[in-house]
Amino acid sequence: MSSDPSESLSLYSVSRSALVLTGGAVAVQVLGIARELFLAAQIGATAELDALLIALVLPTALPSILTSGAITALVPAYLEARHTSGLTEAQRLAGAILVWTAIAGAAIWIAITALAVPAVAVTGPGLTSAGRAEAVGFLQLLAPLALITAISAILFAVCQAEQQFLTMSAASFAGPAATLATMLLLWDSMGLRALAIGSLIGPGIVVGILIASMIRASLVPILVVRPGGRLGPFVRHAAPLTVGAAILQINVAADRAVASLLGPGAVSVLRYADVLVRVPVGAIGPAWGSAIYPALVRSTLGGVVGSLASDTQRTLRYAIAVFVPVAMLTMAVAPLAVTLAYDRGAFASDALQLTAGTVAAFAPLLLILMISPILTGAHNARRSGRVLLTGATLNVIVNCLLDVVLGFSIGIVGVALASSITSTLVLIYFARRLETSEPAFTIDPIARTLGQAILASMPGTMAIGAFCWFGVVEIKDVAALVALAVMGVLGGLGYLAAATLLGMEEPRTLITISMSAVRRQRPRRRA
């Protein structure tokens, strides 16, 4: 992407950056699966592992809450400083934020170490006395994570602003790889403590890679306490985002609390369905959000009226055109996907049916989690922290109400549906607020693309859904995997054909961009 902020956002550049980050995220998920399989084979579900997991809660959760608003607010503040006053001023701002974040992270480290015993009593009330003692030991060992992860979060934000996506991807992979390698090397002599040590070494490696890359690119933050008058606006943006992130944690607890009242196994069904829907988006969504955010911020810095509005509107239309058929196809194939993933061992047939319904209710999140970074990114580019805090508050209130209403009326599927409905309503709120603050932004073209995408998706998904939901043929294992692949291809081709008949321009443009990218790569491969 051009460094000129006034240039219109390039979908090709953003997509390429997102692919780089997605590759790292997928590799990290593979490493996580390998770690869990090793632990399961070596120790299974034990009290010692419970103690370690309890000990990991505070050193990871507290710095995450601490930096959630800071890393989002830093990107527009940094880019504005760079655009108006030069790189040195941006480095001073990043350095000041890094200093204060490090001080807060160190304070959390000291507090966790000093209050380890009561902290474990609160976070692990069900542990035995021996388990609590082990958890306290693990917690005191892991307390430095609070400082390390807080520092790495700020460094990641600087890399995001500077579009150092390859560095971000490499660091994201190297950390878990170092953790896994340390655990495997030390396991025979140290057992589970090897994982605790690896959990410290991995994040340390991440910080080392980020700093080394910044030194090479001359982007190292300049450590100061006060960067002029820029810290105040940054704090006013970051504070509501931090509060909003903390408030949103209520949703997870509310979903599980209501699910626990719906009968044995309901919480498990909710988790199984959630994992099946979110794992693919877990790699793509954050990568897409990290790539699109600095591009949207640059749209506000070039002095071109309506640039942010037009870039946001255009990106939303293309995201909708891609992920509406994906979400609808997920609803259609839910029974087959659940059978492929879980139909073995102790997973009963009634649980399979319930999980399939829950997956279908969660399926809109595949679209929501891809367009949410665009709308929140646009508001963050304008530093509208209060709008996002209001959205977070509405999210929790509406979700909790719908959890109760839908959960107790239609069961666990209602809890999943509550999440999808709530997220949709909050996105509508964000779009309406953006329409108010950015006169050039209009919802009508987006709504038109959404309607066309739904219509174009319906013929294929209805036929596939009838086949999957009414059990015409029982398909399992490899046959189910092949069937899913075939249905995906057929559904995609049907969507493209129907979209062409409806006159949708977005699918055609995306195909043109993809073909252009392939043509760009061919000379390099021959060379």
284 in Cβ contact with 366 (< 8 Å)? no
- Percentage of residues of the chain with pLDDT beyond 70: 90
> 87-114 and 145-161 helices cross at what angle (nearest 10)?
160
pLDDT digits (tens, 9 = 90+) for 97-114: 999 999 999 999 999 999
pLDDT of residue 282: 64
User: How far, in Å, are 2, 58, 275 from residue 213 at the CA level?
Assistant: 21, 29, 34
Q: Residue 75's closest CA among 232, 227, 247, 296?
A: 296
Question: For residues 384 and 76, what is the distance between their CA atoms, to the nearest angstrom?
Answer: 11
Q: Residue 319's closest CA among 183, 506, 465, 463?
A: 506
14 in Cβ contact with 295 (< 8 Å)? yes
Tokens of residue 272, six digits: 């199984």
Instruction: Annotate 21-34 with three-state secondary structure.
Output: HHHHHHHHHHHHHH
Q: Given pLDDT bands bounded at 50, 70 and 90, which one contains residue 274?
A: confident
pLDDT digits (tens, 9 = 90+) for 379-437: 998 888 899 999 999 999 999 999 999 999 999 899 999 999 999 999 999 999 999 98
Collect all residues with Cβ–Cβ distance below 8 Å to 475 and sequence separation of at least 6. Answer: 336, 339, 483
Collect all residues with Cβ–Cβ distance below 8 Å to 167 and sequence separation of at least 6. Answer: 159, 209, 210, 213
6 has pLDDT over 60: no
pLDDT of residue 90: 93
pLDDT digits (tens, 9 = 90+) for 43-93: 765 677 778 878 887 898 888 888 988 998 999 999 989 988 899 999 999
What phi and psi, each to the nearest 5 degrees, are found at residue 48? -65, -40
Question: For residues 109 and 102, what is the distance between their CA atoms, to the nearest angstrom?
Answer: 10
pLDDT of residue 144: 95
User: How far, in Å, are 117, 272, 319, 321 from residue 505 at the CA level?
Assistant: 61, 37, 13, 9
Q: Residue 424's closest CA among 340, 342, 366?
A: 366
Instruction: Annotate 349-366 with three-state secondary structure.
Output: HHHHHHHHHHHHHHCCHH
Q: Residue 119's closest CA among 105, 136, 104?
A: 136
User: How far, in Å, are 12, 113, 316, 343, 453 from residue 450 at the CA level?
Assistant: 22, 52, 10, 34, 5
**Residue 41: how many other CB atoms lie within 10 Å:** 8
pTM of the model: 0.77
301 in Cβ contact with 383 (< 8 Å)? no
21 in Cβ contact with 168 (< 8 Å)? yes
Q: Is the dihedral of CA 318, 322, 327, 332 positive or negative?
A: positive
Question: For residues 214 and 219, what is the distance between their CA atoms, to the nearest angstrom?
Answer: 5
- Percentage of residues of the chain with pLDDT beyond 90: 44
pLDDT of residue 115: 92
pLDDT digits (tens, 9 = 90+) for 422-462: 999 999 999 999 999 888 899 999 999 999 999 999 999 99
223 has pLDDT over 60: yes
Per the prediction, the chain carries an average pLDDT of: 85
Q: Residue 21's closest CA among 188, 163, 138, 197?
A: 163
Q: Given pLDDT bands bounded at 50, 70 and 90, which one contains residue 516?
A: low
pLDDT digits (tens, 9 = 90+) for 316-361: 998 899 899 999 999 999 988 888 877 766 677 888 888 899 999 9
Measured distance between the N- and C-terminal CA atoms of the chain, rounded to whole angstroms: 24
